[in-house]
Structure 1
């Protein structure tokens, strides 16, 4: 639609599930969707921590085995407790695995419920937003936000959060274990850990925190540009272009590459090299510590046992720090995903009237209406006033961007006016219950869509309780008899999403049947013949005449042949009403409409010249199509 502008901001006053707004951010905001299952998250974190602490027991058992073997060397048979230590290590390892499995069960239950509640909250909120929201936000974009972002938060709760609890327990247990046997060797190991943490913080703190947002933004740009490139491949082949013609795609890849190179090479190369050197080389740092300690050693058996323990246990330090890094990264990603979900939940909703009023008739009135799209510099409508008496037909025409579609969309409250009022039956549409307003208005758009199902199901979508005979009558009134006749299963024929087995004009006629079956007293038409061929246009015009009979019709049109029979034509330009009257009156006035009509007549008479100055004969067919459309438009009950 020509007047739709991208919505730049989101309202901060969003109604959410239960009527309460969720406060806070990050993890607390995510957990607010868990409800009563939040306790499973906490239980899972505790069990994961217990499992991690149990994982230290085998290391202690190894130390005990080495201690006993060194103490009785070379009489190994005297070490009678080795099997006991082995069984203790085995049992605790198995118990640790089972406890961790229980932790994951708990967190997965909570994660699935949280994801379910999050999707429900988004769906319920989207049911209350203005229908115009879906014009400025593509369905694919909304799906990516909800499914992709919910998936990230689900991974955080199901896996990363219990690992976070286990990691905290690992760090605490590691610090205790480092100083339990020999504080000097423990200090050497801790020195490596401190350097590693410092390196990690230098890569993930300060200005570098913004790189996750930059990464997501770069990925989004690359995905959008890539989709555009794939869709444009036929154009590239037809016109013999090269991939370099898709500069946006090339620039998106280059921007992503530059960002990744700057972060990984310029900012992270040195700290990551130091991190890996010290973390993976902890055992090397033990050597100078041993050389310093060795001169004062009296109990060499214990000393060697302690060294063996720290040499083996040093591997835990690397594991603990890597887990900390991954948990931090996933937490940041989940926070970014939650902000996207919050953006959906912050979309402004339509307020229901406290005391609904009922329209007296099917008239429509615009009372000094002004409206601006979010972020737009100029208003789409500026102090517009017009009336559509009950049972009459009023057409909105004018240059593209003049405000025609915007005006039509304000009647069913696709958007709410900025000032003034739109009235149906003498009642402000904001004072009519939404379900009653929807019952009062039927829509036919230039890009109507069909659902994946049978033709009968698509027509019944307007009124599910309609009988088969009523749906068939609506199809006949909408000039769909030829469509039904060519289908092997008639109205029970299964068609794909968007009517993939039908032409654009056939889809439009079935959409008209849907509107006829709804039997609403008001009909809003937005360029219903935009994508129709001449034959389908004539049929659609007959169906429109049947639909308009006895109803109030507000129609948006670019093809002026379709509005000649309207009771009144309103010309909109730059959001203002510049002319109004019948076709003959406006043509005689010599204003904007007269110029548009002259241009339209010129377009109808246009023909393709032959290579030798002759005519191809294209003009007569165009003139005939226009004449047929005029006849259908003029004959209201054709």
Structure 2
């Protein structure tokens, strides 16, 4: 009883999902209802040729063997042709309606999901892989498009077909009608067994497995260079390999262990529906007074039984489509439920470009320990403040709180004396330019990639920003210069070169506040020199006024001239001050600086005492652990 209730609840959810899905179609949902109605009428009309065949068979049997007496055969033939053409026309018109609604529904679903993601907190994308989001936004919309355009009108037609079949089964000869119902009943029982209970659970796990495989597949493709460098195979990328194995086992287990027997039985009985008529006819013939009429009825049911496999197959696909739609709409609604950056009711404008962290604590979702724990420091307007410390200390987390990639768990982050949560998000984004260690170029020209920071910028302004970011050598080697489309014809750039283009974006934006996160992470010595020169230009606006700069750095050479250095360790402020003050304090920063100086002078040699080699090995281990880098 409890299992039956659970199945009913699942069916209710599947049915309700269609209503939630149609809500995306807006006014065009009416076309879906019209298309389903036309498909149902088309299916009823398609029974016309079978009825005409019965009339023709009746007349022929009645006058046999004098076939010329059957004068109405041609009329029945024309009526059958008319019914067939009308059925096709009605079905075509119905599909036109449902396709118009389906395209609008899929389009609105993609637009709403994409628009919502545009307003979602940027930190959301750190926890949700791009492959999984693409699968939800694009893949789920594609699946629902097939449901609304084809499966839903086919479902309406199947329901009409079943109702029409039941009526025709009992109009001519109820005994032969019951015989035709036997395979229908057996097939429905098999479908309920496959689709109910475990079948519903399988569809949910099937969709989850597809999303997981899509996500890990995207990560694998991006990691192919690493796999090839180390001469590995797909088995080395454990996550992708396990996702494929999980999907394979899941599909095979469901198909072989759960569906093999009932599916085989269902296909067998519906394909041989005419066989069930034979024993009934044998038993019924001795008691028949009008053998000719009974023969005509038998011929009708034998021919009409060919419709049964079509009807039952549509019912089976209908159930699968409803399950897929339920899962798809749930996933899209999950994306639409992602937290967004809420605009305050009465936004306040910052008074200046200073930044203040006031007793800030922040914990990532699902984490046990806070990433930041009661952190407080100031970044005066026009000053450059650097965040340094061991890996995992909370530097990137602190920097991401300024442009509201995340909202603090406790305390406040203020810009110009105003809590960032009270600033209009558009205003806040307009005041802050950021350059991160992981950057992405679009498949557009270099000009448009840089212009993304300020779409209304002129070509000369973009070129000036590229020159200020020391990108002249990059443009010289590109075949079409600034008009070269990135990623085409083997046009690719190194990590350091991409960083300089990102700095050009920030320079072009001309925002009063700049957040730099590991901006020299992928730079070789030559690129680092040019990036440092670009930093100097970025630190001042076009009118020469100093910008407020908050920079995260692991290379201590980039921060020694900062106005203030804040050392973060395990989510807390360990110390803060200028380079000279921190060295004099002989604390964590002083130890990091000493390690940095040793690493700069470190060389690999083939000779030396065991003690020297041990010391070099210890320094190399320290570098690997990130205490210096």
TM-score (norm 2): 0.90
Contact 2:131/2:216, CA 8 A, preserved across alignment: no
The alignment status of 1:574 with 2:570, answered yes or no, reads: yes
The superposition leaves residues 99-144 of structure 1 with CA deviations (integer Å, 9 ceiling, x where unpaired) of 1000000001111111111111112211211122233333333222
In the TM superposition, residue 35 of structure 1 has moved relative to its aligned partner by 0.8
Partner of 1:99: 90
Which residue of 25, 33, 48 maps to 1:34?
25
In the TM superposition, residue 243 of structure 1 has moved relative to its aligned partner by 5.7
Partner of 2:283: 292
Task: Figure out how many residues of one structure are paired with residues of the other and give that number.
Answer: 594
Change (3 A) 1:518 1:224: closer
Which residue of 582, 590, 595 maps to 1:594?
590
In structure 2, C-alpha distance between the alignment counterparts of 1:330 and 1:552, rounded to whole Å: 55
Stretches of structure 1 that go unaligned for 5 or more consecutive residues are 1-22, 620-638
In the TM superposition, residue 211 of structure 1 has moved relative to its aligned partner by 1.0
Change (3 A) 1:410 1:253: closer
In structure 1, C-alpha distance between the alignment counterparts of 2:450 and 2:225, rounded to whole Å: 34
The alignment status of 1:128 with 2:124, answered yes or no, reads: no
Change (3 A) 1:273 1:254: same
In structure 2, C-alpha distance between the alignment counterparts of 1:539 and 1:518, rounded to whole Å: 20
Partner of 1:560: 556
Give matches, 1:198-597, under 5 Å. Answer: 198-224=189-215, 239=230, 241=232, 244-496=235-487, 500-549=491-540, 550-597=546-593
Contact 2:447/2:482, CA 8 A, preserved across alignment: yes
Change (3 A) 1:235 1:454: closer
In the TM superposition, residue 332 of structure 1 has moved relative to its aligned partner by 0.9
Partner of 1:192: 183
Stretches of structure 2 that go unaligned for 5 or more consecutive residues are 1-13, 541-545, 617-629
In structure 1, C-alpha distance between the alignment counterparts of 2:71 and 2:483, rounded to whole Å: 82
State the SS of the aligned residue for 1:127: helix
Q: Which moved more, 1:492-501 or 1:335-344?
A: 492-501
TM-score (norm 1): 0.88
Change (3 A) 1:544 1:214: same
Contact 2:132/2:214, CA 8 A, preserved across alignment: no
In structure 2, C-alpha distance between the alignment counterparts of 1:318 and 1:94, rounded to whole Å: 22
Contact 1:450/1:497, CA 8 A, preserved across alignment: no
In the TM superposition, residue 449 of structure 1 has moved relative to its aligned partner by 2.5
In structure 1, C-alpha distance between the alignment counterparts of 2:227 and 2:372, rounded to whole Å: 39
State the SS of the aligned residue for 2:305: helix
In structure 2, C-alpha distance between the alignment counterparts of 1:205 and 1:487, rounded to whole Å: 60
In structure 2, C-alpha distance between the alignment counterparts of 1:519 and 1:534, rounded to whole Å: 27
In the TM superposition, residue 466 of structure 1 has moved relative to its aligned partner by 2.9
Partner of 2:543: none
Partner of 2:624: none
In structure 1, C-alpha distance between the alignment counterparts of 2:489 and 2:359, rounded to whole Å: 38
Change (3 A) 1:180 1:331: same
Partner of 2:11: none
Partner of 1:4: none
In structure 2, C-alpha distance between the alignment counterparts of 1:266 and 1:493, rounded to whole Å: 56
In the TM superposition, residue 527 of structure 1 has moved relative to its aligned partner by 0.8
Q: Which moved more, 1:356-365 or 1:448-457?
A: 448-457
